[in-house]
Chains A and B, each alone.
Chain A
Amino acid sequence: MKHLEKGVSLRHAPADFIRDLNVDNVSAGIVAGLFGISASVIHVGAGTAAGLDPQFIMLWVIAYLMINGLFGLLMPAYYRLPLPMANSIPGALLFAAIIPVVGVEAALGASLIAGAIALVAGLAGVMGIVMKLIPMPIVMGMVGGVLLKFGLNMVAPLEHAIVPAAIMILAFFLSARFLRRVPPLIVAMLAGIAYMAFTGIDFSGVEFSVTFPEFIRPTFTLEAFLAYGLPLALILVGMETPAGVGLVKGMGYKEVPANAITAVGGFATMISSFFNLHSTCIAAPMTGICSSPEAGKPDKRWVAAVIAGAIFVVGAPFYGYVISLIEAMPSYFVAIVAGLALLKVITSAMYMTFAGGKHEMGGLFAFLIAASGLQILGIGASFWALVLGVFISLVFETKDFEFIRRAAHEPSA
């Protein structure tokens, strides 16, 4: 356990939580929580596209809110850092795609092994090396490329639903500019709902319901492990942690417990696999929201992450209600809200990739590969984006790697 970083404490967390509450971290926490719930449109979309049973998709999302939320309460409370937990989105896409091939139980078995690998990686303290090998611009290039699709989907409704699309996007811009206290995303959603109320929308299919996560017994197959478990483990260790840790470091936090984040995520992923959920790990966009300057004073931003986790846990049983609401909405509504929610993250990912002047070529390749959605050996684009991005950067931008530069300087010093 010597590689796990020590935090502050859980014992005084409730009292400190109340002491550190302020308007900034509460509103950031609410936005992050709502964002995390709205991210489920990705799960619903991917699951529906893969032909999964709507009932299963609901259990899946409820488990993610419940389990991710629980760990999302504990991690920031213990470390007093903005470390919200969520699940891996590329992992979710892989998961949805593999279920029709190997079945739910085998897919979850592969998740269990992937979680164990992440747990061991964290306990063994390899994250420092992983983080040095994969420079931030390349990680962020990959993140930008993966998220780009949601940005492009946001623009697509301009073709067939220009009036509501224009209203929502304009409402977002105007409120971002002039209403600084109100989250622009909420304004855009309200504008869209107002338009729908005005033009008439059918909510008769919406039902109130309460559902809890269900226990399931994973099974193990080699096929599921190779096609999904191994890539998931690589994504968790090589991508999710570096992305989350990078975001927090980028906001000025010096000490970020990379090993603990990986180990706890791995452990939580193992638990997840018994409840229809593919993974638990540090969030990326939510981390961005909770650790950003909009969440107030740096030492109090952890409160925002705790609130986001609480929203997850409390909202989980009622998700069936939320999802039937979302289903009643026209498709452009969800596409635009998701795109707007990610706009800031895409923007900052592009900034971190291309504005620093380091690892530009590797970052560009990571960005293009991740955006192309290519698949090699059944492993998705986000993984190859990192591998090829790092490779190309090693060839062309050798001097940009810190450990290489240091190694070159050491003999003379």
Chain B
Amino acid sequence: MRRFKDWSIPAVTAGFVAVLISYAGPLAIFFQAAQSADISPAMMTSWVWAISIGAAVSGIGLSLWLKVPVVTAWSAPGTALLVTLFPELSLNEAVGAYLTAAAVMLAIGVSGSFDRIIRLIPPGIASAMMAGILFQFGVGVFESLATVPALMIGMLLAYLVFKRLTPRYCLVWLLIVGVGLAVALEGASLDGVSVQLASPTFIAPEWTWQGTLGLAIPLVLVSLTGQFLPGMAILRTSGYNTPARPIVTVASLTSLATACFGGITTVIAAITAAICTGEEAHPDRDRRYVAGVANGLFYLIGGTFAGTIVLLFTSLPGEFVAVLAGLALIGAIASNVSAFAARKEHLEASVITFLATASGVSFLGLGSAFWGVVIGAVAYNVLHRRFTGRREEAERASDSAN
């Protein structure tokens, strides 16, 4: 029973904190998607159940198998994408797109071509699209000043104070203070919140080309570049030379299984992963996998009581969720904008991608994330692609002369 010897309180705590932060921040985006799709609490419960169970099963399995703290979660930029697509996109179409995306990711995982594909995407373009999707949430914080000024200012101040004092637990504290402010200022009532066991609801998938081009393909892109890329990087900088193949494969298999219950693509965590892979989880690197297992166990508990989580969020005003989601994403917006701004050699194409994605244009039934990538790819190829070696040298010379 060597395994029990590996368990430690810091590792379990790290797993718990990671789950708590996921529920406090990124889940708020999922709730915004649910609001724009106008679905019932029962359906929302099924969604939360599906993403939590997906994260639990894949996280526990991978951590035990690889002996590495693999923290999995749902694709946060993917849920941000959903907010812009509902209600034009139907639930059935969304599920169809989840399945397509999972199948594509599975193919990428099994074939082991993850690293090769990542290299094909110009890094600036991918970050710019992510920034464009997330940008609207950041602006939404300040736009809500017109409707709920006191709540917005209070939460912004709380965010700043906690970000300064306890950056790690900032989101958790923000959730607590925000709920308090919503109750005190907006008259929200938590009386209806009770302990409830979740029961998943089946959604029949439907495949349309709007769903495939508008959701599935951008979903694969943002999951690869926004979750797997930083997630794998976090693992590697923490000293785990884990191959991407088993992780991508298992996460995609989980996605396939949970998709029909509203579970958006399961991926390796980016926002919370560092909590479980760092020194704080355990001084001994080989015993940190316990944090990944604990993280999964807490997701299991969260999924079982998904109904209670949904009740909590639905009894709070929509503006609260918008402000919480926006503040939770500030860090992600900053890192994506800096990531593309730092790539000066194809900065203009990145800015065009960012503009097109952030504009929210929809055309032929396809959302702006899709058009952002298309326009960005055209701009990249026209403006920056090197056609001959000589030109490259000439441009580099002129760049350095500037």
Contact = CB atoms under 8 A, between A and B. Distances in A.
B319 interface: no
B4 interface: no
Interface in A331-375: 343-344, 346-347, 350-351, 353-355, 357, 360-361, 364, 367-369, 371-374
Contacts of B362: 159
A31 to B, nearest CB: 17
Nearest to B137: A368
Given A170-B382, A355-B341, A396-B164, A159 B361 contact: yes
B381 to A, nearest CB: 9
B145 A374 contact: yes
A238 to B, nearest CB: 19
Contact of B382 (A158, A174, A355): A174
A185 to B, nearest CB: 14
B351 A158 contact: no
Given A360-B334, A364-B333, A155 B361 contact: yes
Nearest to A376: B145
A368 B355 contact: no
B334 A371 contact: no
A372 B336 CA distance: 19
Contact of B348 (A156, A162, A347, A354): A347
A351 to B, nearest CB: 5
Contacts of A170: 378, 382
B341 A354 contact: yes
A235 to B, nearest CB: 19
A357 B375 CA distance: 28
Q: From A174, A293, A354, name the one whose CB has the most chain B CB atoms within 10 angstroms.
A: A354
A293 B402 CA distance: 7
Q: From A174, A351, A368, A374, name the one whose CB has the most chain B CB atoms within 10 angstroms.
A: A368
B146 to A, nearest CB: 7
Contacts of B135: 368, 371
Q: How large is the interface on A (under 10, 10 to 19, 20 to 34, 35 or more residues)?
A: 35 or more
Nearest to B146: A374
Interface string B28-67: 0000000000000000000000000000000000000000
Given A355-B341, A364-B330, A374-B142, A173 B379 contact: yes
A151 interface: yes
A356 B355 CA distance: 21
A395 interface: yes
B363 A159 contact: yes
A74 to B, nearest CB: 29
Contact of A372 (B143, B330, B344, B347): B143
A176 interface: yes
Given A343-B352, A368-B139, A176 B359 contact: no
Contacts of B334: 354, 360-361, 364
A28 to B, nearest CB: 14
B204 interface: no
B337 A354 contact: yes
B189 interface: no
Contact of A155 (B141, B348, B355): B355
Contacts of B245: none
Contacts of B141: 368, 372
B164 A155 contact: no
B277 to A, nearest CB: 24
B181 to A, nearest CB: 19
A162 B361 CA distance: 11
A396 B164 CA distance: 7
Contact of B342 (A355, A364, A392): A355
Interface in B79-98: none
Nearest to A174: B382
Interface string B140-174: 11110110000000000000100110000000000
A293 B347 CA distance: 17
Contacts of B164: 395-396
Contacts of A354: 334, 337-338, 341-342
Q: Which 9 residue pairs are nearest across A and B when measured between Cβ atoms?
A: A372-B142, A354-B341, A155-B359, A355-B341, A173-B382, A151-B355, A152-B359, A354-B338, A372-B139
22 contacts: A148-B358, A151-B355, A155-B356, A159-B361, A162-B363, A174-B382, A176-B348, A176-B383, A293-B402, A343-B352, A347-B348, A350-B347, A350-B351, A354-B338, A355-B341, A368-B135, A368-B138, A369-B142, A372-B140, A372-B145, A395-B164, A396-B164
Interface of A: 148, 151-152, 154-156, 158-159, 162, 170, 173-174, 176-177, 293, 343-344, 346-347, 350-351, 353-355, 357, 360-361, 364, 367-369, 371-374, 376, 381, 392, 395-396
Given A154-B355, A355-B344, 12 more contacts: A152-B359, A158-B361, A159-B361, A170-B378, A346-B351, A353-B341, A355-B338, A364-B138, A368-B333, A374-B145, A374-B146, A396-B163
